[in-house]
Structure 1
Amino acid sequence: MSYTTVTEPDVTTSGDAPVRKPSPVPWAVAAVAALVALGLVLWLVAAPGDEDTSDAPTAGSADAGFARDMAVHHQQAVEMSFIIRDRTDDEDVRRLAYDIAQTQANQRGMLIGWLDLWGLPKTSADGYMAWMKGDGHMGHQSKGGSLMPGMATDAELGQLGKAQGKDAEILYLQLLTDHHMGGVTMARACAEQCEVPQERQLAQGMTEGQQSEMRLMADMLEERGSAPR
Structure 2
Amino acid sequence: MNRRYAGWVAGAAAAVLVAAGAVTYAVAEDSGGPGTRTPGAESADAGFARDMSVHHQQAVEMSYIVRDRTKNEEVRRLAYDIAQTQANQRGMMLGWLDLWGLPKVSADPPMTWMGMRGMPSAGDGALMPGMATDTELDRLRSLSGKPAEILYLQLMTAHHQGGVHMAEGCAAKCTVDVEKRLAQGMVDAQRSEIELMAGMLKERGARPRP
TM range (shorter): 0.7 to 0.9
Equivalent of 1:74 in 18, 35, 56: 56
Number of the residue aligned with 1:122: 104
Query: Take 1:75 and 1:217, find their aligned partners in 2: how far apart are those partners?
Result: 20
Equivalent of 2:129 in 149, 154, 164: 149
Equivalent of 1:106 in 78, 88, 97: 88
Could you tell me which amino acid in structure 1 is paired with residue 182 of structure 2? Answer: L
The answer on whether the counterparts of 1:42 and 1:113 sit within 8 Å (CA) in structure 2 is no
Which secondary structure state, in structure 2, belongs to the residue aligned with residue 147 of structure 1?
coil
Query: Per chain length, whose mean CA-contact separation is higher, i.e. which structure has more relative contact order (CA < 8 Å, sep 6+)?
Result: 2
Give how far 1:143 is off. Answer: 2.9
Structure-2-length-normalised TM-score? 0.84
More strand by share: 1
Seen in structure 2, the aligned counterparts of structure 1 residues 50 and 192 have a Cα distance that, compared at 3 Å, is same
Could you tell me which amino acid in structure 2 is paired with residue 43 of structure 1? Answer: A
Query: Take 1:172 and 1:162, find their aligned partners in 2: how far apart are those partners?
Result: 12
Seen in structure 2, the aligned counterparts of structure 1 residues 77 and 184 have a Cα distance that, compared at 3 Å, is same
The answer on whether the counterparts of 1:82 and 1:97 sit within 8 Å (CA) in structure 2 is yes
Residues 211-226 of structure 1 aligned to structure 2 (within 5 Å): 211-226=191-206
Which secondary structure state, in structure 1, belongs to the residue aligned with residue 123 of structure 2?
coil
Question: Does residue 86 of structure 1 match 2:68?
Answer: yes
Give how far 1:173 is off. Answer: 0.1
Question: Does residue 133 of structure 1 match 2:115?
Answer: yes
Question: Does residue 44 of structure 1 match 2:15?
Answer: no
More helix by share: 2
Could you tell me which amino acid in structure 1 is paired with residue 195 of structure 2? Answer: R
Unmatched 5+ residue regions in structure 1? 1-8, 10-36
Structure-1-length-normalised TM-score? 0.77
The answer on whether the counterparts of 1:84 and 1:169 sit within 8 Å (CA) in structure 2 is yes
Query: Take 1:48 and 1:77, find their aligned partners in 2: how far apart are those partners?
Result: 32
The answer on whether the counterparts of 2:55 and 2:163 sit within 8 Å (CA) in structure 1 is yes
The answer on whether the counterparts of 1:39 and 1:109 sit within 8 Å (CA) in structure 2 is no
Could you tell me which amino acid in structure 2 is paired with residue 208 of structure 1? Answer: D
Equivalent of 2:149 in 145, 157, 169: 169
Instruction: Calculate the aligned-residue CA RMSD, in Å.
Output: 2.4
Give how far 1:127 is off. Answer: 2.0
Seen in structure 2, the aligned counterparts of structure 1 residues 119 and 68 have a Cα distance that, compared at 3 Å, is same
Unmatched 5+ residue regions in structure 2? 2-19
Larger radius of gyration: 1
Number of the residue aligned with 1:31: none
Which secondary structure state, in structure 1, belongs to the residue aligned with residue 115 of structure 2?
coil
Give percent identity, aligned residues only. 63
Which secondary structure state, in structure 2, belongs to the residue aligned with residue 131 of structure 1?
helix
Query: Take 2:171 and 2:77, find their aligned partners in 1: how far apart are those partners?
Result: 29
